[in-house]
Structure formats: C-alpha cells, structure tokens
Structure 1
Amino acid sequence: MTAQTTSSGQAVLRQQITGSRRFSNYWWAVVVTLGAGGFLLAGISSYLHVNLLPFSDPTQLVFIPQGLAMGFYGLAGTLFALYLWFTIILDLGGGYNEFNKETGEVKIFRWGFPGKNRRIEVTCKTSDVQAVRVDLREGLNPKRELYLRVKGMRDIPLTRVGQPIPLSQLENQGAELARFLAVPLEGL
C-alpha cells in the first residue's frame, strides 16, 4: 500500500494487488510442466521403442496399458501446465485499488480472463463509501479479507485472492484505509 501526496496537500492512496504472478504459481507451473513432460515422453518412448528420457528406460514398458496410461497422464498434465502458464501470463486477479481524495473517486481495477470482461473496473465516489469491513474466518479454510462497503452496491473485495494475509497486516491495512477515507472499520 502506498500513499502519494499531491501538490494541493490532498492524498491519493494506491494499493497494488498481486494476481496470479506469485512465486507459488511459478513454482507449480514449472513442477507440473516437468512432470507432465516426463510422463508424455515415457508414453511416447514405450510406443516408439526409442529412449527419449536420459534418466530411465521407458522402452521396457508395454505400450498397452502402461505406456498408454503414461501418455494420458502426460497429456492431462501438459494441458494443466498450459492453463497455469496462461493464467500467469494474463496476470489474472492482478490490479490495484486507488482512493483519490482530490477527484473524490474510488477505483478498483482487476485483470480477468480474455473477452469482453477482461478489464474489471469498479468506480464510485468516496462520499458513497460507508465503511471498511474486515471478514475473518479461521479454521480449515481460513478467510481474511477486506471489503469496501458502498451505498447501493455489494461489498467490494479489496484484498488479493489466495493465501490469507497475516492478521496484523490485515488490521493495519484496514485501519489505514478507514483513517484515509474517514469511515468506520467494521468486523474487528
């Protein structure tokens, strides 16, 4: 979260939101790509009876059913890896939250899937903001999110999707935003 002060003394608060370009997504995309490639090459090697893998000899596999199953798993893994790389390239869920006191506008922007809704943009007036709401749910599937409560609209999510952020960081972000917008902080 970064605050910028304009020349007139009023501030603009801009929060960058990390989308699918996180380290964990890169990690899993690489792991799935390597694993799927290995399975696919093992299936092809068992069919052609030519060793395509330097670290093992899949030519000893009987093509039906072992080589066929390896090829199927390799193809499925390759499709999943392509999906992971596609979401990383598009940076799905990435964007920013901008709170501008000078123009009196709040702008929430996120990148989505290709199509007519690729650019997801929500704007409203700062005077319509009623509160900043914190949603906390602990347990097996914890949820720690910030929402913007706006008059005449559904609550707008402000935090990134994925791994829950630490409670102290969530409280600090919520308090800073509520102070900046001069609205109450709900849910704590």
Structure 2
Amino acid sequence: MNWRSEHIWIELIRGSRKTSHFCWTCILFFGSLGFVVVGTSSYLGRNLIFIFPDQQIVFFPQGIVMSFYGIAGLFISTYLWCTISWNIGSGYDQFDRKEGIVSIFRWGFPGKNRRIFLHFFMRDIQSIRMEVKEEGLSSRRVIYMGIRGRGAIPLTRTDENWTPREMEQKAAELAYFLGVPIEIF
C-alpha cells in the first residue's frame, strides 16, 4: 500500500516475504531432506525411501556426496527461512516536500545495524537514475536516487520484473514529484 498526497509520498517496499521466495525455499528444503535421507539409507543399508532399493546407491562415494549436498542444502534453506521470517529488505521510502526531507528505511539482518535509516535533504538530490541492463534471458532494471556527496542509492530491488514502460512511468512520477531530472544508464 503506497500513499501519496500533494506534499508527502510514502512508498512501502516489499522484502523477502514473497510467494516465489517461499516456494523456492520449500523446494530446496524438501529436496535437501530427500538427499539426506537417501545418503543415510545408503549408510545404514536399509530402505528408508522405498523408491530406491538400498543396493542401487553405494555409500562410498554416492551416499557421501548425497549426504553432503543434502546437509549443505539444509543450511541454505535455513538461511532462506531466516531471511523470510525477518523480512529482510522491507521498509519504506518517504519523500516530504513540505519539510524538504527524504527518509529511507529498510530492515536488515538482526544485530547492531538491523535498522537501516537514511535521511537526506531534498535539495541534495541531483537526479533520478534508471539502470537498464539486458543480459541474455535476464534483465536488470533499477531506479536510483543520485545524492550529492553520497553517490547513488537504489530505491527498487533488482529482482522486480518491471516492463520498461512501468519503470519509466515510476521514475518520471518520482522525478516530477521531487523536481529533478532523469538520467538513464
């Protein structure tokens, strides 16, 4: 839910709690669990999974490799479950023309710097920058805010699949609201 008035623009940013992230994490978890069970069954010499007879997979080297990949996958899926539960990357962008302040807030990993909070004066904003990279099947479209003395700060995620028209429209609306030019990279 985004909110906009004549003087204030607040845009909520989705973090790691996306349906696609949840689906991929579940697939990785169950696949890794399957690898661990197959590796364990080859070590024990018993059928823990009835699809594969225990004689088909020898513990050395196939069982060891499957166990290793399964354990590594379980660690990665645990990391992904943590990023989903902590909602890493979520937050908001607030542009206040009345006060002349831009506030950017994002949630990070737990610890000392969990809350990432940046303040800028609107007069320090030089431009809104669009980066478009078409690399084979994947494309990268990111909107940045150029700040005097601080470089460019990304306002959008790299994994958002926008059409070029949607990206241009969002950048144009933001540039108009802030009263700055648009640059394309």
Indicate the TM-score class for this superposition, using the shorter chain for normalisation: 0.7 to 0.9
Alpha-carbon shift at residue 63 of structure 1 (Å): 2.1
The residue that corresponds to 2:54 in the other structure is 59
The residue that corresponds to 2:123 in the other structure is 127
2:53 and 2:41 map into 1 onto residues whose CA distance is 6
Alpha-carbon shift at residue 182 of structure 1 (Å): 1.6
Counterpart residue identity of residue 150, structure 2: M
RMSD (Å), alpha carbons: 2.0
Unaligned 5+ segments in structure 1 are: none
The residue that corresponds to 2:75 in the other structure is 79
Alpha-carbon shift at residue 163 of structure 1 (Å): 4.1
Alpha-carbon shift at residue 132 of structure 1 (Å): 1.3
Q: Could you tell me whether the CA contact under 8 Å between 1:46 and 1:58 is conserved in 2?
A: no
Give 1:43-58 correspondences, 5 Å limit: 43-53=39-49, 55-58=50-53
1:187 and 1:133 map into 2 onto residues whose CA distance is 6
**Structure 1 SS opposite 2:135:** coil
**Structure 1 SS opposite 2:158:** coil
Give 1:143-154 correspondences, 5 Å limit: 143-154=140-151
Counterpart residue identity of residue 3, structure 1: W
| Cα separation, partners in 2 of 1:58 and 1:66, compared to 1, 3 Å | farther
**Structure 2 SS opposite 1:160:** coil
Q: Could you tell me whether the CA contact under 8 Å between 1:95 and 1:109 is conserved in 2?
A: yes
The residue that corresponds to 2:108 in the other structure is 112
Alpha-carbon shift at residue 164 of structure 1 (Å): 4.1
Unaligned 5+ segments in structure 2 are: none
The residue that corresponds to 2:3 in the other structure is 3
TM-score by length of 2: 0.87
Runs (4+) of structure 1 moved beyond 3 Å? none
59-68 vs 177-186, which moves further: 59-68
Percent identity of the aligned residues?
42
Per-residue CA deviations over 1:18-76 (Å, capped at 9, x if unaligned) read 222222211211111111011101111122233322x5135323222222222112111
